[in-house]
Structure 1
Amino acid sequence: MLRKVIICFTAAVFLLNIMAISVLSAPAVGEPVYDVETVADIMANTNVFELQAKSYVLMDAETGQILLENRSHERLPIASITKIMSMLLVMEAIDSGKINMDDIVTASEYAASMGGSQAYIEPGEQYTVRDALKAVATHSSNDVTVSLAELVAGSEQVFVVLMNEKAKELGMNNTNFLDCTGLTDEGHYSTAYDVALMSRELIVKHPKILEFTSIWMDTFRNGEFQLVNTNKLVHFYEGCDGLKTGFTRAAGHCLSATAKRNDMRLISVVLGEPDSNTRFAETRKLLDYGFANYESKQVNKKGEVVNEIEVKRALIPKIKALYGDDVKLLFARSDKGKVVREVRLKSFLTAPVAKGEKVGEVVYKIGEKEIAKVDLVSDRDVEKASFGKLFINMLSSWFSLGRS
Structure 2
Amino acid sequence: MLWLGKILLGMCLLVGVAVSPVKAKADAPQPAITGEFGVAIDAVTGKILYNKNATKQGYPASMTKVLSAIILAEKLKDGEIVTASSQAVKQDPSNQAFLMQSGEQLSKEDALNAMMIKSSNDVTYAVAEKIAGNTKAFAQLMNKKAKEIGAVNSNFVTPNGLHDDRHITTPYDMALIAKEALKFPTVMKAMGAKEAVIHTNKRQVRIVNKSKIHDNPLALGGKTGYTRKAQNTLVEILQKDGKTVIAVVMKTTLAQEYKDIAIMGNFAFNQLNVKNIVKKNQAVDSLKFKDVEVSLLSSQDYSVTFKKGEKPGYKTQIQTFNHPNGFKAGDIVGNVNVIYQGRVIKQIPLKSNKDIIIPVKKEIKEASKNENKQEQGAAHVSTIMMFLISVGVPVAIYVGLIIVRNLRHRKSLGNI
TM above 0.5, one fold? yes
Partner of 2:389: none
Provide closer, same or farther for how the CA distance between residues 233 and 331 of structure 1 changes in structure 2, counting only shifts above 3 A.
Answer: same
Deviation at residue 241 of structure 1 after TM alignment: 2.6
Q: Secondary structure at the match of 2:246?
A: strand
Partner of 1:113: 90
- Range that drifts further, 213-222 or 188-197: 213-222
The sequence identity of aligned pairs, in percent, is: 31
Deviation at residue 51 of structure 1 after TM alignment: 1.0
Q: Does 1:229 align with 2:209?
A: yes
Question: Which letter maps to 1:198?
Answer: I
Provide closer, same or farther for how the CA distance between residues 293 and 45 of structure 1 changes in structure 2, counting only shifts above 3 A.
Answer: closer
Deviation at residue 172 of structure 1 after TM alignment: 1.3
Query: Higher Cα Rg: structure 1 or 2?
Result: 2
Deviation at residue 179 of structure 1 after TM alignment: 1.0
Partner of 2:72: 90
Work out the CA distance in 2 between the residues paired with 1:373 and 1:129: 27
Partner of 1:349: none
Deviation at residue 59 of structure 1 after TM alignment: 1.2
Partner of 2:276: 298
Work out the CA distance in 2 between the residues paired with 1:373 and 1:124: 42
Provide closer, same or farther for how the CA distance between residues 111 and 298 of structure 1 changes in structure 2, counting only shifts above 3 A.
Answer: same
Deviation at residue 221 of structure 1 after TM alignment: 5.0
Partner of 1:311: none
Q: Secondary structure at the match of 2:248?
A: strand
Deviations 1:264-297 (A, max 9, x none): 2221100110x21200111112222333453433
Q: Does 1:176 align with 2:155?
A: yes
Question: 47, 53, 60: which one pairs with 1:78?
Answer: 60
Work out the CA distance in 1 between the residues paired with 2:33 and 2:313: 35
Comparing both chains, which one has the higher relative contact order based on Cα–Cα distances under 8 Å and sequence gaps of 6 or more? 2
Deviation at residue 342 of structure 1 after TM alignment: 11
Judge conservation of contact 2:242–2:303 (CA < 8 Å) in 1: no
Judge conservation of contact 2:37–2:251 (CA < 8 Å) in 1: yes
Partner of 1:283: 261
Work out the CA distance in 2 between the residues paired with 1:125 and 1:363: 46
Q: Does 1:57 align with 2:54?
A: no
Q: Secondary structure at the match of 1:171?
A: coil
Deviation at residue 299 of structure 1 after TM alignment: 1.8
Deviation at residue 331 of structure 1 after TM alignment: 3.6
Provide closer, same or farther for how the CA distance between residues 140 and 321 of structure 1 changes in structure 2, counting only shifts above 3 A.
Answer: closer
Work out the CA distance in 2 between the residues paired with 1:321 and 1:135: 43
Partner of 2:120: 141
Instruction: Name structure 1 gaps, 5 residues minimum.
Output: 1-43, 309-314, 344-354, 365-371, 380-404
Work out the CA distance in 2 between the residues paired with 1:230 and 1:293: 31
Work out the CA distance in 2 between the residues paired with 1:248 and 1:262: 35
Work out the CA distance in 2 between the residues paired with 1:228 and 1:61: 27
Question: 182, 197, 211: which one pairs with 2:189?
Answer: 211
TM-score where L is the length of structure 2: 0.61
Work out the CA distance in 1 between the residues paired with 2:238 and 2:338: 30
